[in-house]
Structure 1
Amino acid sequence: MKSKAVILGANYYIGLSIIRCLGIHDIPVVAVDYSTKGSYALHSKYCTETLIGPHYKKDSTGFLNFLIDYGKKQDSPPVLFPGADPYVEFIDEHLNILKEYYLIPQTEQGLYTKVMNKETLHALAEKHGMLVPETLRPNEENFLQKVEEIIKFPCLVKPTDSPAFVSKFRKKLFKVYTMEELQSSLQLAQDANLEVIVQRIIPGFDDHMYTFDAYLNQDAKVTHWMTCQKFRQYPINFGASVYTGQRHVPELYDIGAKFLEDIGFKGFAEIEFKKDAETGKFYLIEINVRTTNLNSLLDKAGINMPYLGYSELTGHPVKPYAITQDTNLVFWYAFEDFLAVKNYLETGQLKFGQVLKSYFQPKAYAIWDWKDPKPGFVFLGDLFGRGFRKIFKTKG
């Protein structure tokens, strides 16, 4: 009997994409969330089981016991997949106990968190010769003077702990244009008890953002990889991918694979780079250590990352493979892309003709799948429901 795959998080399309990538291979898929509300991935036809457990943060002990109890009942250890950053942090914190009951690619406790944390990641990157944007800490000597001389305005105020920051402010960072805005943003972060860094903006439009997506085996060697180029993000300029294309950039392999192997990383990782519009050099921006937003694109292009992890951990590794040609495929999250396009057009960063032309490329959708349509319909139903409630609340 096949080992089960347990996916943590069903209220976002990352979890849904993991479910589909495994379900198409007839792997028993168990989807877990803390609520049925908004968890449209629970409606996928590929779900063998759907479970509602305690909240990973509000009742972390209860959630840990929930997972342990489930793992104990299985004939063979399930493979555990986090569908969002908070689940990665949870797994990392409890790695030593969870790996007694689940198969997890990463074996070094703390490495996930070290790579997710902006401050420790940058220190690690600099140690291994990776370019990172110039960065200052608010507690540094002559901090304000250094901001004016080294960082300059506008600049970014970024969290060291992204999931906590996003949970509090509903955005990934603050972009500030003046010293007054900088000090105000720093105060907001301090009041929320969140550590932040101040960083130089690497010049270049959103299409200067690239990704190196890789799977590293249990020997910490890259076995599968491809690269992508972002075209649109939401929120625009400093958000998540909403329209991104596969594009082969060999240089990113040379930079990214060596770094990930040198730090002993195992499992899936996505390094985000920004290409400096003035120098052409690639700067490391961040690393995603869970299945990426672009997972449906990676799969359609020919690399099923969740299946690679499942196969290796259950004793059936897939032979190495890389996408080394351009496929013209793009990832499209229509709902947020429409919001992004509105902002791009309003700010003059894109023209209508450019946007219209882009929609004629072959696509890998974030949520929609003709073979598994119900999650898409449930998502749309929830979306329209929220819209109606907002309208009537406003009228009332």
Structure 2
Amino acid sequence: MSRPFPAAAFLPSAGLRPCVVLSCIGASEGDMNLVRSLGLAGVPAILVAEYAEPPARLSRHCSDFVQVPLFSEQPEALLQALRRLAARHGGPLPVLASADPDLEVLARLLAQGASDCIVSTLPDPDLVRRLMDKTEFDRLAAAHRLPVPRTFAPTSLAEARDAAERLRFPAIVKPATPQAWCQSPGLPDAVRRAKALRVDHVDELMALCAQLLPLGATSLVQEFIEGPDEEHFDVHAFIGRDGRAQAVFSGRKWRIWPPHAGSGCLVESLNEPRLEALALDILARIGYRGIANMNFKRDCRTGEFLLLEINPRVSQWGILTTRCGVNLPWLAWRDAQGLPAPDRAPPVRAGRWYVNGLKDLRAVRQYRAEGLTRWSDYLRSLLRWPLVCQTLSLDDPRPALVLTSRWIARKMKASRQSPRRRPAEDPQTPRHP
């Protein structure tokens, strides 16, 4: 009998082992998408979060909640919480990371041998480290001849000058690890918060490196791939422990936040066999296992897809993947339980759209300021159908309702607290003495 993918939402089945979802501060999209994806397949989701009120806690699919403050900085506290959950549920549980900080701490715990409470859903810890450290990823790409843009990892201003002489500008400068810039307090806030920065000539590159390198903010310099933001594509895949690709999905980012160096906020699901075949070949070359979120950009001059990075976790817009019939968290849960893979790959529903409303609006404002879009284009894009929203979901409405009511309450409170303006005086009205 074939085992198809789950298609409709239903209540968690009695006796199914739950899956733990990690939720760090500042990354609420990934955890919401994981909780909903697991719930749609009937898998109980236990949310372990750094803060008390993550939006995913409001989901009807969240079966339990545990707060572990600052676990991304205090791995031992997370380890103890996971051990308590394992004891309560009779053994180690699968754990899924939703963003880079909790991915880092999860990989660290697994490398230290936390198998008494964690069933790994990740690739080999050493491969995770090499994928997250972009300097190591550059070496990995060179060793396996992966199709990546030309990249340099300067450690001094002299090396940065040497890279500048060999680069074709414009170029992109990015942190070597997810936390490399944000953990450098001497940097300007705009740099610390950036995922990547574009430099258009040598002087710009050297000025930026003069800020970064003396502080030990390890960085990569990479040739810019010609083309607008809509040339960014993602491939999401799951590779089982036996090395077989159980599912693959591709999407095109029509808008990203922050523009030019961010995550997709308006995305279309695709049927892109050439890109998907390339992605699976890359994963096979490096011996990858687990959920893969692969970022590509198509060079508008050559039509070639170039790999930017491989994230061993779900995408921030991964709920579109699930709604298109490819439930990667469910596959990871099954694989962690030692259950057989579905007999056939899921049919992907191409032509569906995803929007993250608030981030997309911010992106449109910046694109418009740069002359890259118009408000009429933005409004037309919201009429695409079917449309998957990040927070609003008709089969799980509580998060959107509660978050909207809280937003209204904050606005009303701010309005009451702000000093009232006195009406302007009519210059023709005489003043009282």
Task: Give yes or no for contact 1:225–1:323 (8 Å, CA) kept in 2.
Answer: no
Deviations along 1:81-106, whole A, 9 cap, x unmatched? 11111111111111043322222223
1:358-369 equivalences under 5 Å are: 358-361=381-384, 362-369=386-393
Q: Which residue of 1 aligns with 2:351?
A: 328
Which is worse superposed, 61-70 or 80-89?
A: 61-70
Distance in 2, Cα, partners of 1:357 & 1:199: 35
Letter in 2 for 1:255: L
Match of 1:128 among 133, 139, 144: 144
Computed over aligned residues only, the root mean square deviation of the Cα atoms, in angstroms, reads 2.5
| Alpha-carbon offset, residue 165 of structure 1 | 3.0
Distance in 2, Cα, partners of 1:201 & 1:392: 48
| Alpha-carbon offset, residue 33 of structure 1 | 0.6
| Alpha-carbon offset, residue 335 of structure 1 | 0.6
Q: Which residue of 2 aligns with 1:4?
A: 18
Letter in 2 for 1:8: L
User: Against the structure 1 CA distance between its residues 52 and 191, is the aligned structure 2 distance closer, same or farther, given a 3 Å change threshold?
Assistant: farther
User: Against the structure 1 CA distance between its residues 219 and 163, is the aligned structure 2 distance closer, same or farther, given a 3 Å change threshold?
Assistant: farther
* Identical-pair percentage: 23
Which is worse superposed, 189-198 or 28-37?
A: 189-198
Task: Give yes or no for contact 2:108–2:125 (8 Å, CA) kept in 1.
Answer: yes
Match of 2:213 among 190, 193, 199: 190
2:116 matched to 1:104?
Answer: no
In terms of Rg, which structure is larger? 2
| Alpha-carbon offset, residue 388 of structure 1 | 6.4
User: Against the structure 1 CA distance between its residues 192 and 129, is the aligned structure 2 distance closer, same or farther, given a 3 Å change threshold?
Assistant: same
Please report the TM-score for the alignment, with normalisation by the length of structure 1: 0.91
2:269 matched to 1:246?
Answer: yes
Match of 2:166 among 123, 132, 150: 150
Task: Give yes or no for contact 2:29–2:317 (8 Å, CA) kept in 1.
Answer: no
Task: Give yes or no for contact 1:248–1:323 (8 Å, CA) kept in 2.
Answer: no
Q: Which residue of 1 aligns with 2:97?
A: 82
2:293 matched to 1:277?
Answer: no
Distance in 2, Cα, partners of 1:144 & 1:74: 53
User: Against the structure 1 CA distance between its residues 178 and 22, is the aligned structure 2 distance closer, same or farther, given a 3 Å change threshold?
Assistant: same
2:234 matched to 1:211?
Answer: yes
Letter in 1 for 2:399: P
Letter in 1 for 2:271: H
Deviations along 1:333-390, whole A, 9 cap, x unmatched? 0110011111111111123343332222121111111121121233334545666677
Q: Which residue of 2 aligns with 1:27?
A: 43
Q: Which residue of 1 aligns with 2:342?
A: 318
Which is worse superposed, 100-109 or 224-233?
A: 100-109
| Alpha-carbon offset, residue 23 of structure 1 | 1.4
Which segments of 5 or more consecutive residues in structure 1 lack a partner in the other structure? none
Task: Give yes or no for contact 2:154–2:163 (8 Å, CA) kept in 1.
Answer: no
Task: Give yes or no for contact 2:72–2:102 (8 Å, CA) kept in 1.
Answer: no
User: Against the structure 1 CA distance between its residues 364 and 191, is the aligned structure 2 distance closer, same or farther, given a 3 Å change threshold?
Assistant: farther
| Alpha-carbon offset, residue 395 of structure 1 | 6.3
Q: Which residue of 1 aligns with 2:310?
A: 287
Q: Which residue of 1 aligns with 2:401?
A: 377
Letter in 2 for 1:47: C
Q: Which residue of 1 aligns with 2:77?
A: 62
Task: Give yes or no for contact 1:91–1:98 (8 Å, CA) kept in 2.
Answer: no
Deviations along 1:318-345, whole A, 9 cap, x unmatched? 2341546x62101110110011111111
2:364 matched to 1:350?
Answer: no
Distance in 2, Cα, partners of 1:188 & 1:174: 13
Which is worse superposed, 357-366 or 310-319?
A: 310-319
Letter in 2 for 1:80: V
Distance in 1, Cα, partners of 2:412 & 2:298: 42
Which is worse superposed, 94-103 or 380-389?
A: 380-389
Distance in 2, Cα, partners of 1:121 & 1:46: 36
Secondary structure of 2:296 counterpart: strand
Letter in 2 for 1:15: D
Deviations along 1:240-275, whole A, 9 cap, x unmatched? 110011111111122111111222211110111111
Distance in 1, Cα, partners of 2:158 & 2:47: 50
Task: Give yes or no for contact 2:290–2:332 (8 Å, CA) kept in 1.
Answer: yes
Secondary structure of 1:124 counterpart: helix
| Alpha-carbon offset, residue 112 of structure 1 | 1.3
Task: Give yes or no for contact 1:234–1:337 (8 Å, CA) kept in 2.
Answer: yes
